[in-house]
Amino acid sequence: MSSRSAIAGAGPTGLVLACELRLAGVDVTVLDRLPGRSGESRAGGLHARTLEFLDQRGVADRFLALGRPLNVGHFSGLWLDFTRLPTRYPFVLNLLQAQVEQLLEQWAAEFGVRVRWSSEVTGVRQSADGVEVTLADGAAFDAAYLAGCDGGRSTVRRLAGIEFPGTPATLTALLGDVELADPPGEGVFMRRTEHGDFSVLGFEPGWYRVMTTEYDRVAARDEPVTVERLRESLVQIAGTDFGMHSPLWVSRYGDAARQAADYRRGRVLLAGDAAHIHYPAGGQGLNTGVQHAVNLGWKLAAVVRGHAPESLLDTYHAERHPVGHRVLHNTRAQTALGRPGPQTEALREVFAGLIAMDEVNSALAGMISALDVRYPLGDADPLLGRRIPDLDLIAERGATRLFTLLHRAGRCCSISSATRSRPRSRGTGRAVSISSWPSARSPFRTPSSSVRTVTWPGWRPRASKRSGRRARRGSVRGGSRPRRRGRPGRSSCPAASGRPG
Ligand SMILES: Cc1cc2nc3c(=O)[nH]c(=O)nc-3n(C[C@H](O)[C@H](O)[C@H](O)COP(=O)(O)OP(=O)(O)OC[C@H]3O[C@@H](n4cnc5c(N)ncnc54)[C@H](O)[C@@H]3O)c2cc1C
C-alpha cells in the first residue's frame, strides 16, 4: 500500500490539510485542475477559530500582518459585537481569500508541499489497499487515501458515489470587484430595498466589491455572468450603478444548501465546500473548510502512519458533519431573515432587539466565529468536546502559552502540574511541566479550576471523583491516542495530537 495521501483541490481546505499531513510526517500530493492560482477572492475574512488554529501552528502573525481586524460580525446584516468573544482574536480578520491562499501555499511550500497544477482528477478507484487516482491527461497514481477538497461541484464526491442532498437555490446573488466613478460616501452593507439588498464595500484601494441579492429570481445555470447583468441588478435594487466600470471579476452565487451524506466513504474523504455548500452569509465557508481540514489532518496522519486504526477516520464524520449541518441551518435562517417584505421587516426588528441582549449576541457570535463548536463526546462534563483556549502558562522554562506548545501537529502534548508526578509522554509526544496557570493574566476569564475539563475531542475527564481532585491540582493532558478499539481514548499519545479541531 502506498504511504502517500492525495488531495484534490488546492483551495484553502486542501492547503491546510496538506500542511497538517506534512507536519505529521505524511507524504502528500496536492492536485488542482487550474493552471495556477486564479487570484480571485470569494471570501474576505478569517474568524477567530481559524486564527486560533493558525496561532496553534505559529503562523497567525503572517495573516494578521496583512489583514484588518473588524470587531463586528453580522447575522443576516444585523450587527454582532465580537469584542467579547473569549479568545485572543475577538474580531474577524478582513483578508482576501487570494491572500489567504497565497500565505497557505507559502507555508505548505516550507514543508516541501508543491501543488501539481493542471492536474484534474477524473477517475477514482478504491480497493482494499488504496485509491487509484486518474488525471485528465491520463496519468494515474496510487495513494493510501484521497481527500476531496475540490469545491462545491466536487468530482471526487461524485466519483465516490456520495449523495449530496439538500435544498435548491431560491435567490440570485451577484458579485463584482469593480471601479466606481461615483462611489457612495461610505461603505454600504446589505442595504435593503423592496427589490432585494446590495452592498458596496471598499475592499482594497482603487476598487470596490459590489454585491446584489435578488430574492425573487433564480438564474438559469447557463445565464451569462456579466458586468452588464450586475449593473442592471444594482440599478434595480439601489437605483444607481455608482458609475461602475473596469470589472476585475464578476461572479454569481446562490443559496442552495447541500451536504454530503458521508464525509468518508472508504478511503475517500471530503472536506470544505466538497462536503457542503450554502449561502455565504456570515462568512463561514472558508473557515469551516479550514476547520474540517484541521480535524481530519491529524487523524488521517495517525492512520496512514499506522498509529491508529482506520475507524478513527469515522470520528471525522461524527464530529464535523454536525458542524457542517449547523452552518447550513444558520445560513438558511439568515436567508429567510433577509427577504424583502413587511413581515420580514417586522421579524428583523424583533430580532434586532434580541441581538442587542448580551446573551443572544454571545450565542450568535460564538456560532458564527465557530468558537462554540462542541463535538458529541458525551455529557460527562459540560466542557467535554469543546476547544481549549490559549491559556497563559508558567512552565519550567518560564512563561508560555498553551498554543505555543502546539506548534507541531502530529504530536501529543501532555501537560501536568509540576507539583505532581512528571508528565508522561510516549513516542513523539512532548511533556511539559507547569507550575501554574495565571488565569488572572489570561484574556478568557477561565478559572484555573476549570482547566482540567477544557477539552479537545478525544479527551475524557477521568471518573468524577478523580476529576475533582485533578481539577484542584490543575492537570491538563491532551492529544490522546486512539485506542485500538477505535474510539479515541484519554491518554498516551505517540503521534496524534495538538488536537485543535
Ligand atoms: C460571495 C462569496 C463570499 C464568501 N465569503 C466568505 C467569507 O467571508 N468567509 C468564508 O469563510 N467563506 C466565504 N465564502 C466561501 C468560501 O469562498 C468557500 O467556502 C471556500 O473557497 C471553500 O474552500 P475549499 O478549499 O473547500 O474549496 P475551493 O476554494 O472551491 O477550492 C477547490 C479547489 O479544487 C480545485 N478542483 C476542482 N475540481 C477539481 C478536480 N476535479 N481535480 C483537481 N482539482 C479540482 C479547484 O480548481 C479549486 O482550486 C464566500 C463565498 C462566496 C461565493
Q: For ligand 1, pick from 33, 156, 279 the residue to mutate: most ligand atoms within 8 Å of CB.
A: 33
Looking at residue 150, its pLDDT comes to 98
The reply to whether ligand 1 has any atom less than 6 angstroms from the CB of 501 is no
Distance 175 CA to ligand 1 centre (A): 15
Q: Under a CB-based contact definition with an 8 Å cutoff, are residues 146 and 159 in contact? A: no
The reply to whether ligand 1 has any atom less than 6 angstroms from the CB of 386 is no
Q: Under a CB-based contact definition with an 8 Å cutoff, are residues 110 and 26 in contact? A: no
Looking at residue 400, its pLDDT comes to 86
Ligand 1 atom closest to the Cα of residue 9 is 34
* 244 HSE (CA, 13 A, CB side): 28
What value does the CA radius of gyration of the chain take, rounded to a whole number of Å?
A: 23
Q: For ligand 1, pick from 38, 74, 141, 150 the residue to mutate: most ligand atoms within 8 Å of CB.
A: 150
The reply to whether ligand 1 has any atom less than 6 angstroms from the CB of 385 is no
Backbone φ and ψ for 343, nearest 5 degrees, come out as -65, -45
Could you tell me which of 41, 85, 13, 76 has the C-alpha nearest to residue 370? 85
Ligand 1 atom closest to the Cα of residue 50 is 11
Q: For ligand 1, pick from 158, 210, 252, 273 the residue to mutate: most ligand atoms within 8 Å of CB.
A: 273
- Model-level pTM? 0.88
Looking at residue 501, its pLDDT comes to 52
Distance 209 CA to ligand 1 centre (A): 18
Q: For ligand 1, pick from 7, 42, 92 the residue to mutate: most ligand atoms within 8 Å of CB.
A: 42
Phi/psi class of residue 14: alpha, beta or left (left: φ > 0; alpha: ψ in -120 to 50)?
alpha
The reply to whether ligand 1 has any atom less than 6 angstroms from the CB of 370 is no
Grid cell 441551518 — which residue?
A: 329
Could you tell me where in the chain the CATH 3.30.70.2450 domains are found? 172-253
* Angle of CA points 159, 161, 163, to nearest 5°: 125
Distance 286 CA to ligand 1 centre (A): 7
Distance 285 CA to ligand 1 centre (A): 8
Extract the C-alpha cell encoding 342: 413587511
**501 alpha-carbon distance from chain centroid:** 9
Buried b (16+ CB within 10 A) or exposed e, 305-337: bebbbeebbbbbbebbbebbebbbebbbebbeb
Backbone φ and ψ for 165, nearest 5 degrees, come out as -75, 160
Amino acid at 179: E
Secondary structure element (H or E) that encloses residue 208, with its range: strand 207-214
Atom 5 in ligand 1: which residue has the minimum CA distance? 43
CATH architecture of 172-253: 2-Layer Sandwich (3.30)
Ligand 1 atom closest to the Cα of residue 44 is 8
Q: For ligand 1, pick from 286, 288, 335, 368 the residue to mutate: most ligand atoms within 8 Å of CB.
A: 286
Looking at residue 434, its pLDDT comes to 66
The domain defined by 1-43+96-167+256-332 folds into FAD/NAD(P)-binding domain (3.50.50)
SS3 361: helix
Looking at residue 488, its pLDDT comes to 30
pLDDT per residue of the chain (501 residues) written in tens, 0 to 9: 567 899 999 999 999 999 999 999 999 999 999 999 998 899 999 999 999 999 999 999 999 999 999 999 999 999 999 999 999 999 999 999 999 999 999 999 999 998 999 999 999 999 999 999 999 999 999 999 999 999 999 999 999 999 999 999 999 999 999 999 999 988 899 999 999 999 999 978 889 999 999 998 999 999 999 999 999 999 999 999 999 999 999 999 999 999 999 999 999 999 999 999 999 999 999 999 999 999 999 999 999 999 999 999 999 999 999 999 999 999 999 999 999 999 999 999 999 999 999 999 999 999 999 999 999 988 888 888 898 888 888 877 788 888 888 887 656 677 766 555 444 444 445 666 666 655 434 444 433 333 333 334 333 434 344 433 333 333 333 333 333 333 332 222 322 233 435
Report in angstroms the alpha-carbon separations of 249 from 31, 110, 132, 470: 24, 31, 36, 56
CA pair distance 297, 23, nearest whole angstrom:
9
Distance 229 CA to ligand 1 centre (A): 23
Looking at residue 1, its pLDDT comes to 59
Atom 38 in ligand 1: which residue has the minimum CA distance? 150
